[in-house]
Amino acid sequence: MAHAAQVGLQDATSPIMEELITFHDHALMIIFLICFLVLYALFLTLTTKLTNTNISDAQEMETVWTILPAIILVLIALPSLRILYMTDEVNDPSLTIKSIGHQWYWAYEYTDYGGLIFNSYMLPPLFLEPGDLRLLDVDNRVVLPIEAPIRMMITSQDVLHSWAVPTLGLKTDAIPGRLNQTTFTATRPGVYYGQCSEICGANHSFMPIVLELIPLKIFEMGPVFTL
């Protein structure tokens, strides 16, 4: 999860998030080079004494500064489109979880376990134990296995919500009357936090998401849900 004074992105816990971080660094380097070039040109313009103010043809230069930005856009667009299609792939998921947004809590349904349904509310400050995170911990966590493709079916019961877990590279809108889906494969066990990322009313800030990722062998041993 994020910590105070953090500058970069959170550590990746899924292949998609690793790709997103790589693309972020790739695009940031291109932006840095463009800014350096523009600032260098401005510096030369302000410090160089102009000795020739006659208008002259510079077709070669115009060709370069027309083609070069197009090449840069292609270098940014191709990896971006690749990741976009990767996030939309659904390859034979091992487990399907349905998440329903309410004002202002999340409801989850394990469709592969006999329709196990439970609600997940934020823990009030009076119920926090040492080590719990204020405004982020919930009473019922979503327990999922690692190294297995998980499909999330996301919808809403009332208004627009958004189911987002940054460390997994997930952010999917929950829309009333529509069922959106996303997939992920976690690579490390642990507890990962997210929040509703769509302004959904007075208590929008109090809809945390907590995923507890455990090894697949432990998950298959039996019920691990603490309801």
Single pTM value for the model: 0.82
* Residues constituting the chain: 227
Look at residue 118 in the predicted model and tell me its pLDDT. 92
H-run or E-run covering 171: strand 170-174
Q: What is the mean pLDDT of each run of 10 residues along the chain (227 residues)?
A: 79 91 93 93 82 65 87 92 86 89 92 85 89 89 91 92 92 93 91 91 90 89 56
Beta carbons within 10 angstroms of residue 65's beta carbon:
10
- Rounded to 5 degrees, what are φ and ψ at 72? -65, -40
Look at residue 132 in the predicted model and tell me its pLDDT. 85
Contact, 108 vs 120, CB < 8 A? yes
**Which domains are assigned to the chain?**
15-88 (1.10.287.90), 95-221 (2.60.40.420)
Of 167, 155, 161, the C-alpha closest to 109 is: 155
Could you give the CA distance from residue 108 to residue 152 in angstroms, rounded to a whole number?
A: 10
Look at residue 120 in the predicted model and tell me its pLDDT. 94
State in Å, rounded, how far the first CA of the chain is from the last one: 24
Residues 6+ apart with CB under 8 A from 50: none
